Amino acid sequence: MKSTASTHSLPHSRVWLSLASLGALALSAPESLRAEEAPSRIHALVSFEFANEYVTPRGMLVRDKGLTVQPLFLTFTSLYKGDSFINDVTLVGGVWNDLGTSGVSVHPPFGSSPKTPWTEIDPIGGFSFGLGKNFKLDVTYTAFAEQILDIGTSHHLETKLSYDDTSYLGAFALHPSITLWQELDGKATDAALPGGVIKLPPVNKAAKHPAPNSSHYFDLAIAPGYAFKDFHGLKIEAPTRILMPDERFYGDFYAKSSTVAIFETGLKASFPINFMPSGLGHWSGHVGFKYINFVDNNLYNLNLFNAPGKPTRDTVQVYLGISSFF
């Protein structure tokens, strides 16, 4: 995210996409929704997620009051299907938004008027590749076009490799994945603010990156789950991940950078909505919660510049959503 000169003196929020992903942002529709795939090469996913707060996958608390609403629209265009090592190529495009009942300031300082319920719009584009029998590679470009606090637009590239271990572990499959998330231009956190905007001396006297530029992190995740075949298609999952940042991602203004910056775990229940007419797509719902711990002391302190207005060690997000794939 880029910051304009008017943000130099006061706290502001750094916003993101979530799903976080839909808990993270998916590059292919959920398997439960793709069971009956139509002959068409083009499909779409429409999703609405509701939560008690907006926490970015990078640990920025944007809104912690009121109701957060996050609509997502994605299209999937099948470019190739075959029997080679690369057995599937899908073009993905779409857009994600964040809105809420509790407004965020349009201009700095944080908390000032006027406020807007619309904080962010993120265009999305990328490719999904099926590799071998059980691997999938997703390469996604996103831009965060902020509508708050005179924050500029940042640009990023996500490369995610996931593995479906169901054929080996069955009901105990972990569905592991590893993601490299790279900032291409601008920052996706408030890391540049303490040392580069407010001009405070670093708390960490040995700081090498008090006001870091674009950087990257790795995300390691598993999503073990169990599908109840005889209970109306209910599926229970326990998504868990750790975020391992480059030392420049959150900087070291407050303390030495940690190997692990975020630990997140929770439970999610998904279920089909079978009463919807088939001509309106394959509908599903989900409900869950996430416990998020901000392990890195720099990230912990950066929430001073976000919705809590104070250093924050952890939070719990409760969410529910509805989606249609057609």
In whole angstroms, give the CA distance from residue 306 to residue 154: 17
Percentage above 90 pLDDT, the chain: 67
Can you give the pLDDT at residue 67?
Answer: 97
CATH number of the domain to which 106 belongs? 2.40.160.40
Can you give the pLDDT at residue 196?
Answer: 63
Total tally of structural domains belonging to the chain: 1
The domain in which residue 250 lies consists of 5-325
Q: What is the dihedral of CA 107, 199, 204, 313, to 10 degrees?
A: -10
The first and second tokens of residue 137, run together, are 């590679």
Q: Which amino acid is present at 121? A: I
Can you give the pLDDT at residue 321?
Answer: 98
pLDDT tens digits along 106-154: 887 667 789 899 999 999 999 999 999 999 999 999 999 988 877 789 9
Cβ–Cβ < 8 Å for 270, 282: no
In whole angstroms, give the CA distance from residue 222 to residue 265: 10
Mean pLDDT of the chain: 86
Can you give the pLDDT at residue 308?
Answer: 84
Can you give the pLDDT at residue 304?
Answer: 87
Cα–Cα distances in angstroms (integers) from residue 179 to residues 31, 35, 71, 242, in the given order:
20, 26, 23, 11
Can you give the pLDDT at residue 221?
Answer: 98
Which residues in the chain land under pLDDT 50? 1-35, 37-38
Nearest to 283 by CA among 22, 104, 46, 40: 46
Q: Which amino acid is present at 272? A: P
Can you give the pLDDT at residue 34?
Answer: 47
Whole-prediction pTM: 0.85
